[in-house]
Chain A
Amino acid sequence: MRRLFHLLMRLYPADFRREYGEEIERAAAERGAWKEAAMDIVTTAPREHADQFLTTVRQAWRGLRRTPGFTLVALATLAAGIGLNTVIFSLVYGALFKPLPYPEPERLFVVTEATPDQQIRFALGPDFGSWRRLSRSVQIMAGYSGWSALYAGPDGAEPVEATQATPEFFTALGIRPLSGRLFDSDDDRPGARATAVVSHKFWERKLGSRPGSSIELNAAAYEVIGVLPPGFEFPGKTDVWVAFREDFASQRGKDGITLLNTLARLKPGVKPDMAATELTGIAVAGWNLPEVVGGFKNMTKGIRAQLTPLGESIGARSRTQLLMLMGGVALVLVIACVNVANLFVARAASRTREVAVRLALGAGMGRIARDVWAENLLLAAGGALLGITLARLLLRLLLKIAGDAVPRANEISIDTAVLAVTALVSLATGLVFGLSPLLFARRTPLNEALKDGARGGGDPALPRLRSTLVAAQLALSLVLLAGAGLLLRSFVALTQVNPGFDPNGLLTLQTHLAPAGFADRAHPVVLGFYRQALERLAALPGVQSVAMAPDLPVSGRFSNMAALEAEGHPFHRKLPMIGARQINPGYFDSLRIPIRYGRAFTPDDLAKSNQIVINEALARSHFGNVDVAGKRMRVLSDTAPWMTVIGVAADVRHLGLQAEPAPEVYRLYTDRDREMISEMSFALRVERNVDPKSLTGEARETLLSLGSGAGVHNFITMEDRIRGTLSQRRFQLWLLAAFSLLAVGLAAIGVYGVLSYMVTQRSHEIGVRMALGATAADIVGLFMRHAWLLALTGLAVGSAVFYWAGQAISKLLFAIKPTDPWAISGAAITLLLVATAAAALPAWRAAAMDPAAILRRNN
């Protein structure tokens, strides 16, 4: 029993045991009731711990209140660091890692296909058809694809975000309707009533929350069968879903196949690579069928299916940039911590005596550590609370500014997961910056501490520790600043890229036509509209000429893809898919795209067929040289007619400024085209000295006066269009710039603090030096040399770190290497200047001291 009693004594806090252990044991022995005494320990030990905890916290609180300046600065620094981290982490978490808001999201995958030469990024329609029929590993498979829809609303025609989806789409996601029903297998039957499912937002805003309405899309009536729950956003910001009506299986024998996004919900327990193997097998078997056209057989050689988790696929585009921001903001937090650590060290200096005396009087190191850490954790907790408040405000602001640049923005919030991480980060913060004063206290001998007096001395390790911390801060700031520099240089480089055409003085707009009736009757209406639109727009005063194409440069997409082969050049598999564009004869002239060889189209060519203009990239990839005017190409099919290349145009960066020009083929959109293009873009080349924007009203009037019910929208100058493609980069640049600014500011405060402290500490020495004839310049030099040594050490270390870490953001750069000397040296020079400025103030103060006064005071 007595042994148990001894064991149980360990339950008490050490301090209590030290103070009363012996007494308790003696009392227990005198009474001889070991069992009762043991039970007593068990019931009273928790109380003693709570007591000790409260006492410690109360002491910490009192300690902090004694130094309000320190407490406020430390709190503000921590709140900024923790707040920023919370904001960026909630962005990153919401966009990349948060489980999707669907049941069992880990079973949802996007299926794409690839050949050995090319990522297709979609699934081929025929393969989708076979998978849906044959796959055993997939429970539900759904296809979907963007659909350009014109909605005839009460205020006129307007485009809506629409998606055509196979009936399994919502079942695969596991979504239930708010009201009505979702698609079932009848909805995609040929001849079935046209049905649509709408978003909650659309239902509220456009349909006035009325049940059972019908809407008009592209001049056809759709019955609204169901409304989705609020907040459902997939894919993108879709408002209307219609059933995908397409016979995917029959496409193998034709010359056109649908590319579609494919969603698979795997059967429980099926591993994604097992499913990928199965789907690949099905696809390969499909393309070996006898009815497959020869061209497709070649193109799909080595085809394979790949599965990407749905959540990952949604966030994929922003992954690198979001992780970079996370890294950046984490650096800011570390710098903030270093600043707080620095404050603590400075504060520890004023407590050197207290700590040393307590140590000497027998207080355990653990006890002192606990007191210091209690202050830290109290501060960290306060910082976290303030930080979260700050984060809420910042996040709202950020999503307002840049909500479109972030995937799944509607799911981003400061939720439990984010708060848990913030709490962890704060705890780690408190522990980390709590270490430094302890390290320092441990090595201060009592007599040193007690000598502290006239000279304001203390441990020589103290300023050294602070200097090290500041050098570390400068190193981290350099990493951030140089990173921002790289992004800035990339951005500038991008804006200087030659897009391949002249974007100045162009007004662009889009039309959306949806005449009623079947394609063969509607077609002439559409063609008539385009002919008239071109004529009337070109006749507007101030307009020189007009370009027309389904997609204008930098739109980032091709409305058509084709697989072409060059005559006399055996088919080679590189880049079989080529962007194809139907244009008007004035296209090259209006956009000022130079023709390198041969000629551009003329209006006379409208009567001829089988003529094409190709770009230099296509000439190079398919013929191996550029001057190929007069050569022939055809669609990859033995029966397709040959087309003559009448000219080779300069490469245009259709896919955005950062993308290398892709091979492209142009042909005229003529009356004989079978394909009806319902969405068209126009670019008006205005005369010099005319502001393109000023033509917006007239152009709109002109097009609406043609009276065909066309939707006319997106009036924007080409320059603004290009600016728009850079918005995401601008966003990340601004954020990183803000972070580095904060970092540099914190580092400057750090340098200033260390130097000020040093000046106070060495005032006696300064007085002696000046009395012995040192000039003000000597004194300034004394301190500046120290500051520069500090800065150079920090910058050298920072450069080394950056050299190693810069690779991580190389994906975000354009035309700039991560080791770009300008970015590093620019950042280094900036920091050197900042450090100089921050050190100059205390140095001058030192030089301005009156030596006589100092010496009188100190002796």
Chain B
Amino acid sequence: MNGNKNQESLSGAVFHIALALADGPKHGYGMMQDVERQTDGALKLGPGTLYGTLKRMLADDLVEEAGEEDRRRYYRLTTLGRQTARAEAERLSSLVQEAHLKKLLRTPRPAL
């Protein structure tokens, strides 16, 4: 299960959480809000989904706990998590460029 995480595309929830944590540690509700903002409210991560995913990301060393504040647990990306998220972003970005080349997207926008 471990090891080849980097080659495979990340599941949606994992990538969204990684994105949410990219600009610093957050607690659960913070992450949920951030994901909602990223997707213009299209994706609302339920708390069960969030913590189930966090648990697996912890096990895979993508995130770590960043202490408690006000009895809420904060999480942050690990180096591995950051690398993995970056690799995924690059993968997506190259896919988007490919879509432009093939005239799938009409108005080019700057990639991520």
Contacts and interface: CB of A to CB of B under 8 A. Distances in A.
Interface of A: 12, 16, 19-20, 23-28, 30-31, 33, 36-37, 39-41, 43-45, 47-48, 51
B46 A36 contact: yes
Q: Nearest 7 A-B pairs (CB), nearest first?
A: A40-B46, A27-B47, A27-B28, A20-B51, A44-B48, A30-B29, A40-B48
Interface of B: 28-29, 32, 44, 46-52, 54-56, 72-73
A19 B48 contact: no
Contacts of A40: 46-49
Given A12-B48, A25-B47, A41-B48, 8 more contacts: A26-B29, A30-B29, A31-B29, A31-B47, A40-B48, A44-B48, A44-B52, A51-B55
Nearest to A42: B48
A710 B50 CA distance: 91
22 contacts: A12-B48, A16-B52, A16-B55, A20-B54, A23-B51, A23-B73, A24-B28, A25-B47, A26-B72, A27-B28, A27-B29, A27-B32, A27-B50, A28-B47, A36-B46, A37-B47, A37-B48, A40-B46, A40-B47, A45-B48, A48-B52, A51-B56
A167 B28 CA distance: 83
Nearest to B46: A40
A689 to B, nearest CB: 81
Contacts of A12: 48
Report whether over half of chain A's contact residues are helix, strand or loop; otherwise say mixed: helix
A23 B58 CA distance: 15
Report whether over half of chain B's contact residues are helix, strand or loop; otherwise say mixed: helix
B28 A26 contact: yes
A128 B47 CA distance: 79
Contact of B32 (A20, A31, A43, A45): A31
Residue in B44, B51, B56 whose Cβ sees the most chain A Cβ within 10 Å: B51
Nearest to B58: A19
Nearest to B53: A44
Contacts of B46: 36-37, 39-41, 43-44
B104 to A, nearest CB: 32
Contacts of A31: 29, 32, 47
A16 B53 CA distance: 12
A391 B46 CA distance: 51
B2 to A, nearest CB: 11
A45 to B, nearest CB: 7
B26 to A, nearest CB: 11
A25 B48 CA distance: 9
Nearest to A15: B55
A48 B56 CA distance: 10
A36 B32 CA distance: 13
Given A26-B28, A26-B72, A19 B47 contact: no
A51 B53 CA distance: 11
A24 to B, nearest CB: 4
B21 to A, nearest CB: 15
B72 to A, nearest CB: 7
Given A31-B29, A36-B44, A44-B48, A20 B55 contact: yes
A589 B51 CA distance: 98
Given A23-B72, A23-B73, A47 B52 contact: yes
A39 B46 CA distance: 8
Contacts of A19: 55
B63 to A, nearest CB: 13
Contacts of B52: 16, 44, 47-48, 51
Contacts of A27: 28-29, 32, 47, 50-51
Residue in A12, A28, A31, A45 whose Cβ sees the most chain B Cβ within 10 Å: A31
Contacts of A44: 46, 48-49, 52
A37 B44 CA distance: 10
A47 B32 CA distance: 20
B28 A23 contact: yes
B16 to A, nearest CB: 15
A43 B51 CA distance: 13
A19 B54 CA distance: 12
A30 B31 CA distance: 12
A24 B44 contact: no
A48 B59 CA distance: 13
A24 B73 contact: no
Contacts of B55: 16, 19-20, 51
A20 B32 CA distance: 15
A49 to B, nearest CB: 11
Contacts of A41: 46, 48
Nearest to A54: B1
Contacts of B48: 12, 24, 37, 40-41, 43-45
A756 B29 CA distance: 59
A47 B50 CA distance: 13
Contacts of B73: 23
Contacts of A26: 28-29, 72
A41 B56 CA distance: 16
A47 B56 CA distance: 11
Nearest to A47: B52
Nearest to B56: A51
A36 B54 CA distance: 19
Nearest to A36: B46
B30 to A, nearest CB: 9
A513 B93 CA distance: 97
Residue in B28, B48, B56, B72 whose Cβ sees the most chain A Cβ within 10 Å: B48
